[in-house]
Structure 1
Amino acid sequence: MLSQNNLPVDRGQLTAIIIFVLGLGSLLPWNFFVTASLYFNECLNTTQNGTQPRRPEDYSFDSWMTFLSMLPLLLFTLLNSLLHQWVRERVRVAVSMVVILLLFSLTAALVRVRMSPDTFFSITMATIWFINVFSAVLQGSLFGLVGQLPPRYSTLFMSGQGLAGIFAALAMLFSVLGNADIRTAALGYFITPCVAMSAILTCYMLLPHLTFARFYLNRDETDKQPIEKIPIESLGGSHDSSFLKNSKDPEDQVLQDLELPEKHQQRSSVFAVFKKIWVMAVCVTCTFAVTLSVFPVITVRVKTVYSGYTGWDNVFTCVSCFIVFNVMDLVGRSVPSLVQWPSKESRLFPVAVFSRVLFVPVLMMCNIPNSRLVIFSHDGAFILIMALFACSNGYLASLCIVYAPQLVRSRDCETAGALMTFFLALGLSLGASISFLLGSLV
């Protein structure tokens, strides 16, 4: 018999830890490629057939990398949103992780292979495309999985995604500080995600064996168990029959869903779910569109004003762009576990989201060589702007992901999670497309 008093608990917080690790794994591929921008551009900055070397800017590598990462993410997240009910989640996640592991292994093996810039560019772009195809399926499936758990696990998942960027940035920093040649450093750098993805796959395989996770993820079977009726008085003395309906406690929501008649337990259509979460969908799209329009395409072009200081030139981009961004993004993603403001019903929420557009011109006015307008030239100004830019991205994106499943029934949480992943990918793709234009303006 199920009651509020004997719902399973997350013993040792093992489910929470695994969800955090899965969040890290869902964005690991993207972060390891984008953080390696300096390595990729260096490989393109070589002489071909004795001719004048082409500049990395001639390839628009950062823009193409972002675009070819986000386009498959958009397309296959949409496909996952529509077909997730026909292919088992475990199959989607396991296959995606294995393929991503193999593609990282291929990237590491090719580090030692000498090839022309054009060939290197083509192979790298193809790898980025395919690795993001499976990353889209992985991320969409994991968002759907997390949407079935209580709301705080969505925050933990988003925090794990924030850690993925820090993990990649620190791996690159240690590679640069190792004083090895660029190819040796890159080899060690790309072996790191191979090991990490193996560990993440192991964690995922352990999840179904945890009682707490199994209870929420197997809700269909749980719903068939008899329910112990709980006197309304025992839930706080209220005689209002709408108490359970209006309760925000996730465990109360579980009990509410279990007591619904069978005909009301069917999943809603994708469109019906979208009508309930469309505000959150638009907000998450705008949040990531603004972020990807300037990061990393514009931000990696900002240079230090202290070019004479030994070593700072080499690590400036890694530290001030990638590490600052990812640390503050993680901070922003973690804050909703403590405070959630504005609320999901507040009109201030979309206002806060759309106000981030101001970061676009501000970042374009930082210390970019040959830029038409430089106002914020000091390193400290750039780091402060990046910190605010990243923190607002993490905070608002996390709120969108946390709020969306709260707007639908528990049976529709997986669909809501999959839809939010699609609109997240839509924002990333729009930002990547806009980056081509913004890159040509500086």
Structure 2
Amino acid sequence: MSAISTSRSEALYRALPPDPTDDDNRLSRDVDRSSIESDHPPPESPLDRRIQCVYFMLGCAALLPWNAMITATPFFISRLTGSPLRATFSSYLSSSFTGCMLLFVARATATSKQTSPSRRFFISTVSLTVLVALLFLSTFTRVPPALFFSFVIINGICQAGGAAFLSTAVYAGASLFGAPYMQALMAGQAAVAVAVSGVQVLSSAASVWGTTPGSIATLIADGNTGNGAAEESSARIFFGISTVFLIATIMAYGWLTTLPAYKNKVGVLERQIKALSFSDSDEERRALVSTGLTPDPPNGRMQLWRVFKANIIYEFAACYGFAVTLAVFPPITVSILSTNPNMHPLLFSAVHFLVFNLGDFAGRYICSFPQLIVWSARRVLTTSLLRTFFIPIFLICNVQRPSATVPTTPIIGSDLLYMLILATFGLTNGYVSTLCMLGAPSLEHNPRLKGRREDVDVAATLASFSIIVGLAVGSFSSFAVRAAICDCNPFRH
């Protein structure tokens, strides 16, 4: 936490010299400088570590539902033993979660100027707390596989709704505070994944302690269908911890809203909503617009479209990067087993989640160093596109094909090499996504915003929406990738 809450001021984010060959800088020189100077926001306040820490927690809470669901995949699968849904459960879970979250985020984005951020936060977080608590209670009971499948999918869809509205609220607030707070928010999203998967590794190790090589071989031969006791114990621990953390986050945010700095920065959104709620006539609404408080709904839609077009490169880069990630992680990577016959599949799966999440966290954290930030939208897009090569690389690892009748030899047969590839995959995911979230709403480094202060929170919200689109596209793409593995994987011999 202390590494994230560093004493660097936001001014460091402005220390990079312009690149004369960069297309973005050429575009910047074409912008009317006088209009930018007139609309340029006042200097930012000194960095407040307390607020940065709270936004770190908010980042954790925003992505906790997704990480809790995918990290608990071994537990969910263990409860589906004997069901035909077991083989494709991961794809169904990620597709339903991200697909519905896309719809919820679209709604949340369209109504972001009509709802109080604090009200949206509290309702969403309380809902998530109840839903995660239900998953915790599910580890104590057993129901038929079909009923359990429905329960998990419905719970995931409801969590997607809560996470969507929560994300739009916290992204808007962080963007108004500035880049260091946005970076802390992004780092928190990765940190919660590290924490959850770390707990899973420890609980998995304790659960499989003393397992003999013979029993492991039998488990693998039976298609990794054990009694589920180890998976159940692991899931119970991190679902319980997740519930407690969400309660702590609600308390931390409640304290944040009492600070004068929050009222000055984010409170303006609250005042805009209250002002509009008392406007019953078109004349009153137009009067509010004339005072610069907030646009009416038609102008709000025009603003969304204008900012979307201006930031299309950042938005596509964020979308594509996550589409590549979700195409293989976790629906495909959970089917990759260790080449060491003495490694328990549950422990290997838990370690694989931890390695990816550590890489993802590292990618987001390095963006706290100004020298490592790339502000050029086109360079960020290029990096995002290059991540496509990870897909065939994972397919030549030790992927287990359900239809295979004889053991196959993977081209990449080293567990260490596989983990290095996975760590790099996570690092580039975190790095690209953070660059997009930092660059899209930056008045200082994104000339496409043309110095419009009122577009900052909208740009951040649209960038986060693009990430959700990428998650949904990648989740549905995983069905095609899995079909290629099951039917005719040309990368194995």
Matching of residues 22-61 of structure 1 within 5 Å = 22-45=58-81, 53-54=82-83, 57-58=86-87, 60-61=88-89
Deviation at 1:57, TM superposition (A): 4.0
CA distance in 2, matches of 1:207, 1:148: 14
Question: Residues 74 and 422 of structure 1 are in contact (CA less than 8 Å); yes or no, is this contact kept in structure 2?
Answer: yes
The corresponding residue for 1:426 is 469
Quick one: which of 141, 153, 159 aligns to 1:125?
Answer: 153
**2: distance between equivalents of 1:354 and 1:118?**
39
Task: Name the counterpart of 1:197.
Answer: 246
Stretch of structure 1 that moved more, 200-209 or 324-333 = 200-209
Shift of 1:345: 3.3
1:438–1:215 CA distance, 2 compared to 1 (3 A) = same
Asked if the contact 1:77/1:418 (under 8 Å) is kept, the reply is no
Between the aligned partners of 1:441 and 1:329, the Cα distance in structure 2 is 27
1:294 aligns with 2:328: yes
Asked whether the 8 Å contact 1:404–1:417 carries over to 2, the reply is yes
Matched, 1:18 2:54: yes
On the 8 A contact 2:207/2:233 being kept in 1, the answer is no
Residue 9 (structure 1) shift: 3.2
Equivalent in the alignment of 1:412: 455
Cα distance in 2, alignment partners of residues 221 and 313 from structure 1? 50
Decide which moves more: 158-167 or 141-150.
141-150
Separation (CA, whole Å) in 1 of partners of 2:47 and 2:261:
5
**Normalized against structure 2, the TM-score is what?**
0.74
User: What corresponds to 1:161 in structure 2?
Assistant: 189
1:64-98 Cα offsets, whole Å, 9 max, x none, are 11011101211111111111111111111100000
Q: Aligned partners of 2:65 and 2:149: how far apart in 1?
A: 18
Residue 77 and residue 222 in structure 1: after superposition, are their counterparts in 2 closer, same or farther (change >3 A)? Answer: closer
What CA deviation, in whole Å up to 9, does each residue of 1:322-371 have, x standing for no partner? 00000110000011111365743363322111011000111111111247
1:92–1:141 Cα contact (<8 Å) kept: yes
CA contact (8 A) 2:377 2:439 kept: no
Give the match for residue 255 of structure 1: none
Give the paired residue count.
390
Map of 2:261 onto structure 1 = 212
Quickly say closer, same or farther: Cα 1:388–1:121, change in 2 above 3 A: same
AA aligned opposite 1:178: A
Superposition TM-score, scaled by structure 1 size: 0.82
Q: Aligned letter for 2:466?
A: F
**Is the CA contact 1:342–1:348 (under 8 Å) kept in the aligned structure 2?**
no
Question: Offset of 1:124 from its aligned partner?
Answer: 0.9
Letter in 2 for 1:402: L
Task: Measure the CA separation in 1 of the matches of 2:268 and 2:136.
Answer: 41
Per-residue CA deviations over 1:210-245 (Å, capped at 9, x if unaligned) read 23333322357999xxxxxxxxxxxxxxxxxxxxxx
Q: Structure 2: how far apart are the matches of 1:104 and 1:399?
A: 30
Matched, 1:171 2:199: yes
Q: What are the ranges of 5 or more consecutive residues in structure 2 without an aligned counterpart? A: 1-40, 209-228, 273-289, 486-493
Partner of 1:272: 306
Q: Structure 1 CA distance, aligned partners of 2:133 and 2:270?
A: 39
Which amino acid is the alignment partner of residue 190 of structure 1?
Answer: F
1:304-319 aligned within 5 A: 304-309=338-343, 312-319=344-351
Q: 2:97 aligns with which of 57, 69, 72?
A: 69
Residue identity opposite 2:397 in structure 1: C
Cα contact 1:8–1:211 (8 A) shared by 2: no
Does 2:414 correspond to 1:378? Answer: yes
Letter in 2 for 1:28: L
How has the CA–CA distance of structure 1 residues 138 and 7 changed in structure 2, closer, same or farther, with 3 Å as cutoff? closer
- Cα deviation, residue 205, structure 1: 1.0
Is the aligned partner of 1:358 residue 2:389? Answer: yes
Residues 95-104 or 141-150, more deviating: 141-150
1 CA distance for matches of 2:460 and 2:117?
A: 13
**Residues 135 and 239 in structure 2, CA contact (< 8 A), matched pair in contact too:** yes
